[in-house]
Amino acid sequence: MTKKFVYISVFVLIVSGIISCEKDFKDIATNVVSNTKFETKDTIIEIEVTNKQIQNIRTDGLSIGGSLGQYLLGVYNNPNYEKIEASVVSQLAIDTNLSEKDDKERTYGADTTVVTTIDTVFFKIPYQATLKEETTSDYTLDSIIGDKTKAFLFNLYRTDTYMNRLDPVDPSKTNKFYSDDTYQILPGELNAQVDYPFKPNEKDTIFVFKRRFSNGHVYKVDTFKLAANNPFARIPLDKNKIKQLFVDQFESQYFKTQDDLNEYIKGLYLEAKGNEGSLMSFNLTTNNLELKPSIEIRYTKTVLKGGSQVVDTIAKSSSFPLSNFSNSLYKMNEKAFPNNGNIILQGAAGNMAIVKLFDANNLNALKNKEWLVNDAKLTFYVNQNIVGFDTISTPYKLFVYKEGSSSQIKDILSEGITAFNGRLVKKDKKPDYYSFTITDYISDLFSGKIKYNPNLRLKVFNSSDVPPNATDTIVRQYSWNPKVVTLLNHFQANGTRRAQLKISYSVKK
């Protein structure tokens, strides 16, 4: 790892011709040991950490490839944190195989009539799941936090807000959508049961339904399942509404192209609400359409002769998956956190922390010490005494960056995300602390190479925080990681587990 050092003019004269100000510390250390001109020490720098409410975040994904990595749906209500009701607004992708009139149907004479019967309609949400063992068909559900034994309430609506990728004011720019945006909702739920009680269930891998003639008699029992029996949620939809909005319009202009469908059904609003339940995530970026949430329609076309004689039955199916242009909505109640030694970090649009490393006087005093910085670690300890402490909802990683400019700390660019760290460390299987290596950043501050001394922001890590390359310094304001953790702040009452900056340095004897 490259180390940066603070040199005074006398020292430069002593070591001139031996090392440069950019030389790797490993080489310097060799000289230090051989000429015994340095001794190594370390010190704890007292810092200040305070809570900061997140007002909103971007949830459109348009600046990071067009879509978010994950979309959240459900309710998470922990009394230690803000309640979150996570919903989704999305366009529908057209069924490219859509054809209301089957080729077989066209062969029948003018004396026949065709009656369409809806067999079943439902909204499908595939779970992210893992097989317990390769030899079994038992799954465990991934990416779910909260109480899965209790239901949150789910409703499916249409929106009357056109989801434009371009800024309507300036079409040369990309549009922006935020977690607290509002959408015009058209009246009338599409789900058959209003406020459908949604509880994730890893056992839901198959759905059996009946195919019926136009007179209602069953002619076939059919099944619906996903590849490899992946579990999925199934929310029954209103048959009459889906028939009127979809099936009866399949031969109209509304379903000719994707643009036509976007104008006809501007968007779907997947609403989650309530005071209990769980929060799940799903993936819209997969190329496997079967693993995307979708409206599933199964219907039968009964061919009749003479108005009553059944000539044939044509079993049909259509699928309308959520498109890649989708936005998340996070309804979160603002919560006042007491100044009691705790720092609350919550993903999505929850809470972050402000970290003040140095004021101007402290920084100048440290500069005058002329330390050669070997290592600088910023550490935050988990409060393990919180009532209802939940290890499942604890983030595996945190992230820190510069406030104001929303820019990266140098070390993540110069040394990479692995060395920069921020990963959760456990002790006796319990979450213990998070630590960041910011050696290059501290060295540049002490040397005067950089004059800007901003506060830092500490947040729950999101995969979009990682810079795509070593020259991209901007931290984009996205978060689809809803996890939560309570840390200890800088108060002396927190003892050795208080938030701290530890610096290892060498000084000239």
The closest alpha carbon to 484, from 357, 273, 378, 342, belongs to: 342
The verdict on 451 and 487 lying in the same domain is yes
The predicted pLDDT at position 297 comes to 97
Element (H, E) at 129: strand 129-131
278 and 391: one domain?
A: no
Tell me what pLDDT residue 392 has.
86
Residue 303 lies in a domain: yes
Q: Are residues 328 and 448 in the same domain?
A: no
Residue pair 505/373 in contact (Cβ under 8 Å)? The answer is yes
Q: Are residues 219 and 165 in the same domain?
A: yes
Domain count, the chain: 2
Q: Are residues 365 and 442 in the same domain?
A: yes
292 and 359 in a single domain? The answer is: no
Which residue positions in the chain have pLDDT lower than 50?
1-35
Whether 144 is in a domain gets the answer yes
Residue that is last in its domain, among 270, 303, 332: 332
Tell me the residue range of the domain where 50 lies: 37-54+350-508
Residue burial 467-505, b: 16+ Cβ < 10 Å; e: rest: beeeeebebbbbbbbbbbbbbbbbeeebeebbbbbebbb
Is 478 in the same domain as 371? yes
Task: Assess if residue 11 is contained within a domain.
Answer: no
SS3 40: strand
In terms of domains, do 283 and 384 share one?
Answer: no
What is the pLDDT at residue 58? 96
Asked if the structure places residue 49 within a domain, the reply is yes
For residues 241 and 363, state if they share a domain.
no
pLDDT, position 104: 64
The answer to whether residues 314 and 434 belong to one domain is: no
Statement to judge: residues 153 and 50 lie in one domain: no
Burial tier of 444 (Cβ tally within 10 Å: 0-12, 13-18, 19+): buried
At which of 275, 300, 332 does a domain end?
A: 332
Residue 370 lies in a domain: yes
Domain final position from 283, 298, 332: 332
42 inside domain: yes
pLDDT of residue 23: 37
Assigned domain for 341 exists: no
Tell me the pLDDT tens digit for each residue of 191-241.
999 999 999 999 999 999 999 999 999 999 999 999 888 999 999 999 999
* The pLDDT of residue 135: 66
Chain segment 434-460, per-residue pLDDT in tens: 999 999 999 999 999 998 999 999 999
For residue 96, being part of any structural domain is answered with yes
pLDDT of residue 21: 36
Q: What is the pLDDT of residue 262?
A: 95
Residues 321 and 378 reside in one and the same domain: no
